[in-house]
Amino acid sequence: MGPRAALLALAAGCYSPRVPEGVPCTSARDCPSPQRCVLGACTVHDAPEPDAMVPVDAAEIDAAPIDAPPDAPPLACTTTGLTCGGTATTFMCGGHCWVHCPTGATWPAASQACTGWLGALGEIDDPTEQSCVEARVNAATWIGLRQNDAATAPAQGWTWNTPATPVVYTHWQSGVPDDRDGRENHDEQCAKIQTDGTWDDVTCSAMTGFLCER
């Protein structure tokens, strides 16, 4: 064998082709250096970050349930947050907190004050609640009853507050609502509870105390 043939034979005996990446493996011993066994295949690359191993659809993230916050505890029955120029007092009726403000205000102003207290002008829904509320009244006082502008008769269109809640119980004084003269002219569109407990329709700009409820 000549020198050239001997050199080729020696080179052939020492040559070991590199195993390509991706060859299946169970441990690093199955892979040639510098490859390692990563996720069951020989590679020179590091293992991917955990978040990159499993693709996540953005829609799946949006659809993932979110724990709802716990129910807020009920508000304490206090006058905190009520705008009232006089000494307001609280009491309970029908499981609801009521507050009486003796300071004179128009119906719209009284309604706004009750909203600021996180309540509304008082709504009386049955005889039991009526008896409870009237026992606390010592002067004419606004309640949340109001007539809408579309009414064509004094007894029509009365609802509680806004958004409008249907009226299921009434305790009107005899002969009212009458809009002052028995004809509907949109003059008396707000209601007050009187010292005897009966309700009367009066002009919304009258100045009386008010009852809030929440």
Instruction: From 123, 121, 117, 118, select the one nearest 83 (Cα to Cα).
Output: 117
Structure confidence at residue 157 (pLDDT): 95
Structure confidence at residue 53 (pLDDT): 46
Please state, in angstroms and rounded to a whole number, the distance separating the CA atoms of residues 171 and 126: 9
Structure confidence at residue 10 (pLDDT): 44
Please state, in angstroms and rounded to a whole number, the distance separating the CA atoms of residues 53 and 40: 14
Instruction: From 107, 75, 105, select the one nearest 92 (Cα to Cα).
Output: 75
In sequence order, what E strands does the chain have?
A: 36-38, 41-43, 89-93, 96-105, 120-121, 141-147, 158-160, 190-193, 199-202, 208-213
CA distances from 161 to 1, 122, 145 (A): 114, 9, 6
Please state, in angstroms and rounded to a whole number, the distance separating the CA atoms of residues 117 and 106: 17
Structure confidence at residue 54 (pLDDT): 44
Domains and CATH numbers, the chain: 21-47 (no CATH), 89-213 (3.10.100.10)
**3-state DSSP percent of the chain in helix, strand and coil, to 5:** 20, 25, 55
Q: pLDDT tens digits for the chain (214 residues)?
A: 555 554 444 444 444 455 567 777 877 777 787 787 877 777 777 655 544 444 445 444 454 444 545 567 789 999 999 999 989 999 999 899 999 999 999 999 999 999 999 999 999 999 999 999 999 999 999 999 999 999 999 999 999 996 789 999 999 999 999 999 999 999 999 999 999 999 999 999 999 999 999 9
